Structure 1
Amino acid sequence: MYVGEFLKSLDRTSTGVAGLDNLIGGGFVPGRVYLVVGPPGSGKTTLGVQFLVEGARNDEKGVYISIVQHPRIVTQDMLRYNFGLLAHVQAKRIVLHDLGEAIFGAGRRFSWNEILEMLLHIIKAENASRVVIDSFTSLEYAVVDPENKRMAVGRFIRKLHDMGVTCVIISEMLSSEAYTDEYYLADGVIVMHHFMRNYQMVRAIQVLKMHGVPHDSNLKKIRFTDEGLVVYPEAPF
């Protein structure tokens, strides 16, 4: 089998975002780790929740692990959309975890290994197949050993691979020219953008990296709709 044919034959996990699967050959490769990064208000959390809702519709258990916002607030914010998050939460097809309370309420800082073991414990306990961590950047302020991040995150991702979990890590865009360790370690990177053009907000998405999957890396227009984020095949400008 040719390499191209093999790549096309890989199973895909739908992102749940209309139009996004078309940019990445049909969806995420299951059991891999993807980074979604962008500025405030760009749609990162919405994309993550849509990913979990799509799994719940297909009897895949999802876990949303919140680091900053209380899960109740995230749920309230997502009620503006018609994808039915609340019903999936009530049926426990999607479980919301507030890890931020444990980390920032502890009165001390942790090592990277300690924090990542907390994440793994939640994922294992819930036997989840889809996971969203929101947001990874906030953990930077809770660790005592920032110099150990790359090795610890590398081990964390390897363990997720072994568990067969498809994970979306949400991260804040601190600089468009500075790449954190997650960019290099994740299997794929999706960047959310927004710009002001002619006094109007323009929103876009870009698949910066996607291991093993033919993908379109050009900027594509996105919009918030009643059904959540939608990706369009044309450029945003």
Structure 2
Amino acid sequence: MSPLMYVGDILKSLDRIPSGVPGLDNVIGGGFLPGRVYLVTGPPGSGKTTIGVQFLVEGAKNGEKGLFVSLVENPKIIIQDMLRYNFGLLGYIQSKTIAFHDLGSHLLRAEYRMTWNELFNAILQLIEGEKAKRVVVDSFTSMEYLVKDPENKRWALGRFIRALQELEITTIITSEMLKGESYTDEHYLADGVIVIHHFMRNYQMVRALQVLKLHGVPHDSNLKRIRFTDEGIRVYQEAPF
């Protein structure tokens, strides 16, 4: 490969793809970098899965195959929950532009525990089989208790993320963050980290989003108010308080 082509590939890789979450692209400087891996974390019920589905729907609108890999919850329940939004999700599933895979049932029913490496290889096989360009892996929470070798997570996750980058797959990984001061391997290895926060203010729940990290992209790290709407989660440029 000539240096000119190499530079061209680098510049092309700095193009942005829309996140599918209204208002988020303004916070992250125009959209996600393609072929990168992003972690969306927050407490239960904060909207992590919703953001992941919005991301896949946005790709499906542009003809990009999307894959949702569920490691814990039944995908049928996830789809049913998403029907409250005006995504047109069922149409994309029927046209096979978005595919849902239930890897969790295999993990929970298998006669033996997978290693981290076997788990990530299974996800990569699904991605290659579906020829997906956008992927959501939901959720990494409690995986340490379902694999045979929890101590190997950092090595296997780093290998997995590198494989996704080489395949030029743009990926969202979700995980629950119950303690604000605790960081996991995903936080350190992902290209970007988006955190969703819950606050109680005057007896009302206030939700906010924060871009904790985003490699290679100027971004706003301040808290931004978010709301659930009929179109999914929307990010506002205002502070939550």
TM norm structure 2: 0.94
Residues 186 and 85 (structure 1), Cα distance of their counterparts in 2 relative to 1, 3 Å cut: same
Q: How many corresponding residue pairs?
A: 232
The whole-number CA distance in structure 2 between the counterparts of 1:161 and 1:8 is 14
Residues 1:220 and 2:195 aligned together? no
Quote the offset at 1:229 in angstroms: 0.4
Corresponding residue number in structure 2 for 1:127? 131
Deviation at 1:9, TM superposition (A): 9.0
Matched, 1:149 2:127: no
Give how far 1:8 is off. Answer: 11
The 8 Å contact of residues 13 and 34 in structure 2, kept in 1 or not, is answered as: no
For 2:93 and 2:100, the matched residues in 1 are separated by 8
Deviation at 1:7, TM superposition (A): 8.3
Match of 1:73 among 73, 77, 80: 77
Counterpart selection for 1:58 from 56, 59, 62: 62
Shift of 1:174: 3.1
Runs of 4+ in 1 over 3 A off after TM superposition: 6-9
| Corresponding residue for residue 51 of structure 2 | 47
* Amino acid corresponding to residue 186 of structure 1 in structure 2: A
Task: Tell me the CA shift for residue 213 of structure 1.
Answer: 0.2
RMSD of equivalent CA atoms: 1.4
Cα distance change of structure 1 residues 63 and 8 upon mapping to structure 2, 3 Å threshold: closer
Would the aligned equivalents of 1:7 and 1:213 in 2 still touch at CA under 8 Å?
no
- Asked if the contact 2:13/2:33 (under 8 Å) is kept, the reply is no
Q: Give secondary structure in 2 for the equivalent of 1:149.
A: helix
Are 2:177 and 1:160 aligned? no
Give aligned-pair identity as a percent: 69
Code of the residue aligned with 2:62 in structure 1: it is N
1:89-134 CA-partner distances (Å, limit 9, x unpaired) = 1110000000001111103211111111111110111110000000
> Gapped runs of 5+ residues in structure 1?
1-5
2:205 to 180, 201, 206: 201
Contact 1:135 1:170 in 2 (8 A): yes
In 1: Cα distance, 2:86 partner to 2:78 partner: 15
Q: What SS does structure 1 have at the residue aligned with 2:15?
A: coil
SS state at 2:68 partner: strand
